[in-house]
Each structure stands twice: as C-alpha cells, then as structure tokens.
Amino acid sequence: MVFRCCDVHILSNIPLTSPQHGQQVEKQNASPTLIDRLSYMMNSDASIEKGRVLPVDDIPDVDNRLYDNDEYSLRCKLASLHRVINMYGANSGPVSDHVSVRVNNNANQFLVKPHALGFHEVTASSLINIDVNGVILHSGSTGFNANVQSFLLYATIYNNRPDLNCLIHVRGPSVSAVSAMKCGLLHVCQEACICGPIASQTIDIDASMKRLSIGDGIGDPKVKIFILRNYGILACGETIEEAWYRAFHVMIACETQIRALSMGIGNLILSSEEASNQVQKTVKTGGGGVSTGDTAWAIGELEWSALMNVLDTAGYHTGYAYRGPFLRNV
C-alpha cells in the first residue's frame, strides 16, 4: 500500500466548489488516502486479513519426509499457537516469552521458535528441535538460534513433570502484576476457577551455572498453572490445546482480579470451594461442558478447532485436521 504525503496538501489548496477539486478526489481514489492508511493501521483485524499473512503450514509436500505425521502436525499446531498468542496480544514483546512443546512425548526433544522471529512470523518449518540440555538437533528453515539459556529454565519443568507436553509463559501487565502479589490468583471469577490448583515458584539465578532454576514442589500432577514470582505465569498442558486453554483463562482471571482489586480486597466476594470444584470437574469433560453429541473432546480441543477455523478463514493455512463435520477446510 503506497501513500503520498503530498496528496493531502494538494487537495487542501483546491476550493471545494471547483472542478479541479472533484478531479483531484477521483485521482486520489485510485490510490490509498491518508484516511485509508490510518483506517488500515488502526483496524484490529488487520493482522489476520486474508492475503497479508505468512502461511503457518509452509512445509512442502516433498519435505514431509523429514518429519513423521505426528511431528508434522505438532509443528503446525505450535506455529499456529504463536499466531494465536500474537492475535490476542498475549506476548509481552514481538520476540519474547516462551512457548514450547515436547516432540511426540519424547522425554528429551522439544520444539521452540527461533529467538529472532516474531510471534507473527513463526511457521511450521522454522521451528527448532532442541534437546533437554539445550543442544540444537535441527535448526529449522531460518538458521536462527534458540534462546538456549531461557529454555533450560523450562527444561526443569519438563524433567520434573513427564505428564506435561506444552508450556506457555505469559507475562502481560496484568499477569505480571498478579505474579507480584502475595495473595496470588484469587477465585474472583469463573476463569480463575477453571485454572485449577496453582503453585507459586521463586526463580533463582545460578550465576556459576549461568542458568535459571526454580524451587522444589513442581511435581504435583494436579498443578498445571505456576505463578513465577515477579516473572509472570506458566500455563501447562498435556497438549497444546490444553496449555492454551489454561493460558487464555489465566489471562482473563488476572485482568479481572486487577480490576476487582481497585474496589479494595475487603470488598471482594470469592467463589466457594464447592463452586470451584464443580467448575474444574466440568473442565475435565472437555468441550466446555457443553453437550456435543457422541464426539469426545479433550480439554481445550473444541475451542482450539474454532480458533483454527478463524485463522484458516483469514488465510493462515494452519494445516489443522478438523474433526467436526460442521467445520470446513479452507
């Protein structure tokens, strides 16, 4: 899209009633005006406008032999997750924050994005395969490096929790604010109840080892949300779908808590333990507790399918294999 700064100046110097004004307007209609440009820039949907995005699934058919079907699907999902995070503005910077997934339940291999790529640029082929010790096994299609030192922090989680296959570190303003509160995440809304049991961790910097480490107590299989003191919140899941489901709800819960606390903590009404347990029981059934006929949905899977349909309709070409007959492939 091209915009000429001189167009506004030319038009402003021509009387509205003159024939030249109409001619100039018609001339400028052939190319974007300042209003057009500003409207495009301010349009919240501009980032998902069809034809203006990199495809998520950029692995040519001839290169599919590099990955088995499971890893191919996993790469497409993880790249799509980065696009979803960017779409929601959930990342604290264009290249920062950590998202990773275990490769096909392999205890020692993981996929991460190249550190130099923005979340809106991540594709299936660009993802880096890294082992639990931070050794690059496959550098992806870009040749950029991974943030190895940062990854070693999350490798500690993976080592202690073999049941977790995806980690999402969110550090937006509201999330970071809650991570700095002594009270932690309060059950002031349904989204907070959805998060389930939460553990708080203090991050220690080991200067001698030049790495980050976290404290003990991360082995409880019921805990899939970790508050990292003064460093945001880590949302985890057995699948990418579950990890995003928990990350999405913890972000809403943190934003709600920040707004509610403006009234004073003494004015807050917290959900009862019984109500919280009922919410968590419903979450475990998948599908948001809504009847979906004979289809059994894992946690977050139904919501993820809807998100992939949004991205595919916008031209992202996610490579996602839809289950529901009501969804169309784009």
Residue range 171-195, pLDDT digits in tens: 999 999 999 999 999 999 999 999 9
CATH number at residue 218: 3.40.225.10
Strand runs (DSSP E) across 135-280, as ranges? 136-138, 166-170, 198-201, 203-206, 211-214, 225-228, 233-237
Residue 99, domain member (yes or no): yes
Helices (H), 169-300: 173-179, 190-194, 240-260, 273-284
Please count the residues of the chain: 330
- Residue 232, pLDDT score: 94
Q: In DSSP terms, which residues pair with 236 in a beta bridge?
A: 167
Q: What pLDDT digit, counting tens, does each position of 163-172 carry?
A: 999 999 999 9
Residue 72's pLDDT band, with cuts at 50, 70 and 90, is very high
Q: Would residue 163 count as lying in a domain?
A: yes
Q: How far is CA 126 from CA 63, 65, 82, 114, 141, in A?
A: 13, 16, 12, 7, 5
Determine, yes or no, domain membership for 262: yes
* Structural domain count of the chain: 1
Q: Is residue 235 part of a domain?
A: yes
Residue 66 placed within a domain = yes
Kind plus residue range of the DSSP H or E element containing 151 = helix 148-160
Tokens read off for 324: 């529901």
Give a yes or no: residue 319 inside a domain.
no
Q: Is the pLDDT of residue 162 over 50?
A: yes
Domain that holds residue 208: 61-294+301-306
Enumerate residues 6+ apart whose C-beta is below 8 A from 137: 109, 129, 130, 131
The pTM is what? 0.80
